[in-house]
Amino acid sequence: MNIHDSLVKEQRLMEILSEMKRIIIAFSGGVDSTYLLKVALQTLGKENVLAITADSESFPPSEREETIRIAKAIDAPHQIIKMSELSIPGYSENDSNRCYYCKKGLFENLYPIMIEKGYHNLTFGLIKDDLGDHRPGVKAAIEKNVRGPLAEADITKEDIRIRSKELGLDTWDKPSLACLSSRIAYGEKITIEKLRKVDEAEQFIKGFGIKQVRVRVHHEIARIEVDPADMNELLKYHNEVSEQLRFIGFKYVAMDLVGYKSGSMNKMLEGTIS
C-alpha cells in the first residue's frame, strides 16, 4: 500500500466532511468508525461532531465500554442510546435482509437526535471494501440519506489501519467487529439467549489470547472461526473450550479449518442474492 495514496484519500475525506459541516457518527468503536471520528474532530472541531452508540441486544457489553473509553481518549462528544433490535419487525426472523432492518431502525433512532441538536448529516463507517459484499444496510442508508464518507473517499480497511497507526489510535490493529446476530445462521430465529451464548463463548476463547474469533451458531452446533495462525493455540485448549461451550448450552463444538472470514455466513445465501 502506498502511504501517499492513503494521505490523498484522507485529504479527500476531510473535504467531504468540511462540506457536511455538522455531523453525527454512528459509532461502534471499531477500526472504521474510530478513524472517521478522529478525522472528523480534526476537520470540523468537537463542537460540530457527535458520536452516538446504540446499546442493543446484539452489541457486546464489552464493546459498549470500549466506545466510552475511545471517545474519552480522543476527546469526542459521545452519547449512548438504548435500542432494541429484536423489537424491529422482521429482524429476529433473521432472513437475508436482517442488516437492512437493523440499520433502518438505527437511522430512525438517530434522525430525531440530529434534528433536535441541529446537526446536518448522519454518517456511518461504510468503507470501500464493504461495497462488494452482501450489505443490505447500505440500502437502508440510501433510503434514509445517511452518508458513508469513508467509502465516498475511496478509503479501504488497509488505508484506515495505516493512517490510524500514524494518528496514534490504538484501534489501528483491532480485529474487525460485527454484531452478535451475524453469528447466527440465516433462517434461524435470533433470541436474547442465543446472543448471550455467542458473547460468553467468544469472551471465553479470547481469554486465551486469541483476538479474532467468531462463534457461528448452526442450531446446536458452535462453529469456531479463528485466524489460521491461531488454530494451534486454540487446539491447545480444546478440552477447556469444548467443556465451556457445552456448559454455555451448545451440544456440539467444532473448529472451521478454513479459519476466520468476515461475512462467512453469507455463503449460505449464494445463489439467492440478486
pLDDT for 24-70, tens place per residue? 999 999 999 999 999 999 999 999 999 999 999 999 999 999 999 99
- One of 50, 106, 151, 179 is an active-site residue; which one? 179
Report, at the CATH architecture level, how domain 180-271 is classified.
2-Layer Sandwich (3.30)
Which residue in the block uniquely carries the three cell numbers 440510501?
142
Tell me, what's the pLDDT at 130? 83
Q: Which pLDDT score is estimated for 124?
A: 96
* 184-193: b (≥16 Cβ within 10 Å) or e: bebeeebeee
SS3 107: helix
What pLDDT band is residue 272 in, cutting at 50, 70 and 90?
very low
Indicate the DSSP class of residue 189: P
Chain center to CA of 166: 22
pLDDT digits (tens, 9 = 90+) for 102-144: 999 999 999 999 999 999 999 999 999 888 766 788 899 999 9
CA 254 to chain centre: 24
Residue 261 pLDDT grade (very low, low, confident, very high; cuts 50, 70, 90): confident
Mean pLDDT of 213-227: 96
118, 22 Cβ separation under 8 angstroms = yes
Query: What is the topology classification, in CATH, of domain 3-167?
Result: Rossmann fold (3.40.50)
Domain boundaries, the chain: 3-167, 180-271
DSSP β-bridge partners for residue 79: 52
The model's pLDDT over 5-29, given as tens digits with 9 standing for 90+, comes to 889 999 999 999 999 999 999 999 9
Rounded to two decimals, the pTM is: 0.90
Quote the mean pLDDT of the chain. 93
Contact between residue 237 and residue 208 where contact means Cβ atoms under 8 Å apart? yes
Active site (annotated) includes residue 179? yes
Q: CB of 67 within 8 A of CB of 27?
A: yes
